[in-house]
Structure 1
Amino acid sequence: MMFRTMLIAAALLAVAPVAAQAEDGVKFSPAYELCLDKPDNGNTYGMLKCGDAEMAFQDARLNKAYKADMADLAEGPVAKAALLKSQRAWIAFRDADCATVRALSGGTIAPIYVQNCYLEHTARRAQALEDLLKP
């Protein structure tokens, strides 16, 4: 039972709500922090609403970077196939990782932890794709 409690604590700490840029360099939009700072959003509904808007922003950022990388790959079909494979693997990992957070979470705060899991993974991947072909 102690091991399960430690797993839950570790999972929840890993996806705790973050500011516009987390210590590990995860970049969020300035609008996200402003949204979270509004007094009306100091509850679960408000936090999830802010998170939904940020998720849409980060998802668009990720898709833009992915499409740009695919368009810029000079190495041709082999490199493009590798990027596609890595993107599919990342999606599977993200979904499995956040499913673990969902399974370990409970109560009314669980949706926030799960949303933050998806949000942090997506923001990190967007940054990785933006940096992929930088000189």
Structure 2
Amino acid sequence: MVRVLAVLAVVLALGLAQRAEVSVGSPFGVQGGLRFPLVPLLLDGRVYGGAGLEALGGGADLLLKVPLTDLYLGLGAFYGTGPALTLPQDARGQGGVRAVLGTWLNLPLPFVGVYLELHPVYYLFPAPGFGLGGAVGLSVGF
């Protein structure tokens, strides 16, 4: 039953998704995910999962687009089975909340976008702490 629900959730997410994304950076190393509109031209949702040398995990973000710019801001949460990637190294944790500060790079590629993100992170466990991460990603529109 759990497997059927997981497959159903993935199929429905693919049906609602606007873009597929792959990024390298925090929190887990290499991530793959889906971005879908919640409020057209204003608010997107993103779900992702990833794997790195030390961690495996996933998370979700709400991303607010800044009108008339290529910038977006967001809040999200994540959880993994190992330490996430951020600086300083002693602030690494397995789960927490993060802010997302991102921008799209203006490249003349149809249906393909490249983005950069900065992630201020507050780890909730195994020990509370702050960290700072970042990511660069490739996004393909459907």
TM-score by length of 2: 0.23
Tell me which protein shows more helix as a share of its residues. Answer: 1
Whichever of the two has the greater Rg, that structure is: 1
- Give the TM-score normalised by the residue count of structure 1: 0.23
